[in-house]
Amino acid sequence: MAVRAVRGATQIDADDRDQILEATTELVAEVMSRNGLSTDDVISVIFTVTPDLTAEFPALAARKLGFHEVPLLCATEIGVPGALPRVIRLMAHIETGRPRADVQHVYLRGATALRLDIAQ
């Protein structure tokens, strides 16, 4: 098994607790599904949000999905002028037999604009 990092992001319409939890749940579920992962495969997850999102911690959504023993961290992205607003990002460190090139990074909703080269 190798340690790999998988990235993902999504965008929401407003700084709303329910939207943050819903979008984060969708993002985490897609990362797990597309990479054939269980929570036992996840070493840790770092969530970031743009400075305009303060209504809830994205990690709460992961906890509700069963990430009880996985270290989770939330942080704020730097406020770069002109950056895409209302974005939730994650970087998960995982144990997997997949080669680096086969790791599926997940960009959903408006966040597909961040990585047009790999967005599905």
Catalytic choice (34, 98, 109, 115)? 115
Q: Clarify whether 7 is annotated catalytic.
A: yes
Catalytic choice (22, 30, 34, 74)? 74
Q: Clarify whether 26 is annotated catalytic.
A: no
Catalytic choice (7, 34, 98, 109)? 7
Q: Clarify whether 100 is annotated catalytic.
A: no
Q: Clarify whether 115 is annotated catalytic.
A: yes
Q: Clarify whether 89 is annotated catalytic.
A: yes
Catalytic choice (4, 56, 86, 107)? 107
Q: Clarify whether 56 is annotated catalytic.
A: no
Catalytic choice (22, 30, 77, 109)? 77
d(CA 29, CA 22): 11
Catalytic residue numbers? 7, 63, 74, 77, 89, 107, 115
